[in-house]
Structure 1
Amino acid sequence: MKNKIVLISLFILPIAIYLVFSTASHNSLFLPTISKNNQDIPLNWTSLSGSKESMKGKITVLGFVGDKVIENRGNFFNLNQKIYNKYKGFKDFQMVMVVPSGNEKKCQQIIDELAPITGDMKGWRFVFAAPQEIQAFYDSFKLMGQLDESKGTPAVIIVDKELNHRGRNGKNKKGDQEYKESYNTISAADLHNEMTDDIKIILREYRLALKKNNNERKDVFRDNIKQNIEKQKNQ
């Protein structure tokens, strides 16, 4: 039985991954970088789990929730259904929501509401800090948008494994100039059509880079074998 499960996984998983990557309709193989080497989650910020959170080494959807956690639960639902559910199987993917301290119970309520329809919620991360710290962290990305009085915004951004802010900056498929630094969680269409597409591109980037690195290691290994054989012949 275990052998059958392994065989099925070997056949189905590559097909599933291929379908995820191949359906991206963006005109570019690589998603443009909006800003580089951004600040990581500060070490003194707390989380629901008590662990120290980081965006380094992860593809992160970063959001700023503000105090109106329950009032904006629809935004969480949109993100969960349109983005998280599609990519939660990738271990390097996560959602990080920045929230003013004192809203821990409200955020746990959101987790509890989403869990029955989602299952694995490990990729959802909430971090808490003082309002002035949140404002400084947001400002460090130099975004065109602004936080509201509760230190929240319906917009989320994509941060890659190297802490680079990614988005759209260049010509789209129609040849028109396009700039997109964030995605509106109020709009299910924005998440479904544009953000889904852009995350696929980033995942494909890392997949291609991993494949290239593996091929390079194989080439080095093969060359070393050839060199050793030649040395033995010449001895």
Structure 2
Amino acid sequence: MKKFWVLSSLFILPLVFYIFLSKGIYKYSNLPILTEKVVDVREFTSNENTSFANKLTVVCFLGNDINTAKASLFNLNQTVYKRYYQKPLFQMIAVLPEGSKNNYKEVIKELSAFTDIKNWHFVYTNSTNIETLFNSFETPFQLNENLYSENAYIIDMKLRLRGRKDDEDTKGGKLYGYNMTSVSTLKDKLKDDIDIIYYQLKKSEEKRKRRKREI
């Protein structure tokens, strides 16, 4: 009998663990699409290289209150940007009110003193354009009077807003954005969800290569 249980533990337990792990991978390797098609930021900038298309973008709306914006910007930079800025396709876009460029100049200079900001893009545009872009995300949130949102948002390569449908900390489960004032949210949720998209990209590329070999 003892031998039976030993053999069972050698074969059954690994199988159970594999099934559990596979279900976990399936659940967390599919980051839901919450909005099918957002407006491309390219419409509001003269820089032809600034676009959501064919990029994995974390986008934020920082408004014209520098004190509030700076804390959010630095949280996002330290916690998320520095981990991913060298990865393919990754970029961060900050959407800022027209006329605030001089105010942000010093903040960006401070940021660049300890960060390679090559994949940070700062888009300055008028309030109507900012609201049009933000509203296209179709979230339950609103910009405040300074055109600021406390959340950062994930836009994928096909201009789709990605997030969660089963977030345990959100009423109704849908997580449209990631609170930039919360380092734990950026670390435990935004980073995890970016990793999921990169996992999906890796699997898609592996599948493409297999098909190519089979032809």
Q: What TM-score, normalized to structure 2?
A: 0.81
1:167 alignment counterpart: 163
Alignment-derived partner of residue 195 in structure 1: 190
- SS at 2:114 equivalent: helix
What's the counterpart of residue 121 of structure 1?
A: 117
What is the CA-CA distance between 1:95 and the residue it aligns to? 0.5
Between the aligned partners of 1:44 and 1:101, the Cα distance in structure 2 is 11
Q: Distance in 2 between matches of 1:26 and 1:98?
A: 34
1:101 pairs with 2:98: yes
AA of the residue aligned to 1:124 = W
- Over 3 Å counting, the alpha-carbon distance change for 1:73 and 1:39 in structure 2 is same
Distance 1:28 1:127, change over 3 A: same
Match for residue 218 of structure 1? 213
Task: Quote the RMSD (CA, aligned, Å).
Answer: 2.2
Q: Is the 8 A contact 2:37 2:160 kept in 1?
A: yes
Structure 2 residue 132 is the aligned partner of structure 1 residue 136: yes
Cα distance between partner residues in 1 of 2:66 and 2:204: 38
Match of 2:82 in 1: 85
Unaligned runs of 5+ in 2: 1-23
Q: Does 1:74 align with 2:77?
A: no
Match in the other structure for 1:152: 148
Secondary structure at the counterpart of residue 38 of structure 1: coil
The structure-2 alpha-carbon separation of the partners of 1:44 and 1:198, relative to structure 1 and needing over 3 Å to count, comes to: closer
Q: Is the 8 A contact 1:45 1:52 kept in 2?
A: no
Quote the offset at 1:197 in angstroms.
Answer: 0.5
CA distance in 2 between partners of 1:132 and 1:63 (Å): 16
- Among 53, 58, 64, the alignment partner of 1:56 is 53
- Distance, in Å, in 1 between the alignment partners of 2:118 and 2:88 is 10
Corresponding letter in the other structure for 2:75: N
Tell whether the 8 Å contact from 1:70 to 1:106 is kept in structure 2 after alignment. no
CA offsets 1:152-199 (integer angstroms, 9 cap, x no match): 111111000011100001376xxx972211000001111011111000
Amino acid corresponding to residue 197 of structure 2 in structure 1: I
SS of equivalent to 2:196: helix
Aligned-residue identity in percent: 28
**CA contact under 8 A between 2:62 and 2:149: conserved in structure 1?**
yes
Q: Decide whether the 8 Å contact of 1:168 with 1:179 is kept in 2.
A: yes
**SS at 2:184 equivalent:** helix
Give the count of matched residue pairs.
190
3-state SS of 1:43 partner:
helix
Instruction: Provide the C-alpha distance between the structure 2 equivalents of 1:114 and 1:41, rounded to a whole number of angstroms.
Output: 22
Q: Structure 1 CA distance, aligned partners of 2:108 and 2:53? A: 23
